[in-house]
Amino acid sequence: MRIVRAKDYNDMSRKAANILSAQVIMKPNCVLGLATGSTPIGTYAQLVEWYNKGDLDFSNVTTVNLDEYKGLNRENDQSYYYFMNEHLFSKVNVNHERTFLPDGTEKDSEKACADYNQIIEDVGGVDLQLLGLGHNGHIGFNEPGDVFKAKTHCVDLTETTIKANQRFFASIDDVPRQAYTMGIQTIMQARKILVVVSGEDKAGIVKEAFFGPITPKVQASVLQLHPDVTVVADEAALSLVK
Ligand code: GLP
């Protein structure tokens, strides 16, 4: 595991965008695994800027996102599809037919998950997976538990996650209680992984996840076993790590 220390959020975003750009330049038809949350917003903004300068071409890129809320459609401004469209897809020349997320409108969880597993298999797996880090150590929506779930599954979001995501919704009652998320095995099968973390409020979980024991109680801790992980974190997020 490589830890890259960034000065602040902007520096973290630029460094992470550099790694994603390198992937796209070296393999123009790569599969990018993408993430939502507030942390990668600056990374996407930087990619858009470089795209506008003519330095990046997404025309042959395929994307698969980590997760989607169950019950939200693509037009809902809180859906992860909407987020991705807003921050990246509508702003670069990616082929929209090659951008995939779990189908939040599919009520049959088993079908939604099986379909998404099939999509990931059909695109040939993920070359570079971008991840944010939840306050409780979740990656995607793989919440703390007794096991690492392998493939795409439907999760009941924890109270911590519902509260953390409340800021994006009109009220806590509007926050969906369930989501479809890529599983840990799929994430671990990505050829490269890039984690972005920012802020002092993540310092404790950074220490636990990347320097503590590997346990499903802190799902991100499993990343310590992956052969090619880069964590780009700002000084505040690394403040508890020597
Ligand atoms: C959300 C997403 C995760 C994200 C995490 C952290 O619930 N499902 O993919 O990494 O929470 O979000 P933030 O970057 O806003 O702290």
**Is the distance from the beta carbon of residue 67 to the nearest atom of ligand 1 less than 6 Å?**
yes
Residue 9 confidence (pLDDT)? 98
Q: Is the CB of 161 under 6 A from ligand 1?
A: yes
Torsion angle defined by CA atoms of residues 191, 196, 202 and 205, in that order, rounded to the nearest 10 degrees: 10
Contact at 8 Å (CB) between 230 and 196? no
Place of tokens 């690394």: 238
Give the active site residue among 117, 136, 142, 165. Answer: 136
In a domain, 235, yes or no: no
pLDDT at res. 8: 98
Q: Considering the domain boundaries, does residue 152 fall inside one?
A: yes
- Residue 52: CATH number of its domain: 3.40.50.1360
Provide the pLDDT for residue 164. Answer: 85
The verdict on residue 218 lying in a domain is: no
Total domains, the chain: 1
Model confidence at 223, pLDDT cuts 50, 70, 90, reads: very high
Q: What are residue 2's DSSP bridge partners?
A: 230
Per the domain annotation, does 122 fall within a domain? yes
Q: pTM for the full model?
A: 0.96
Q: Is residue 242 part of a domain?
A: no
C-alpha 48/C-alpha 92 separation (Å) is 6
Find, among 199, 226, 192, the residue nearest to 210 by Cα.
Answer: 226
Q: Does any domain span residue 216?
A: no
* 154-194 tens-digit pLDDT: 999 988 889 988 888 888 998 999 999 999 999 999 999 99
Domain hosting 22: range is 2-210
Residue nearest to atom 13 of ligand 1 (CA): 37
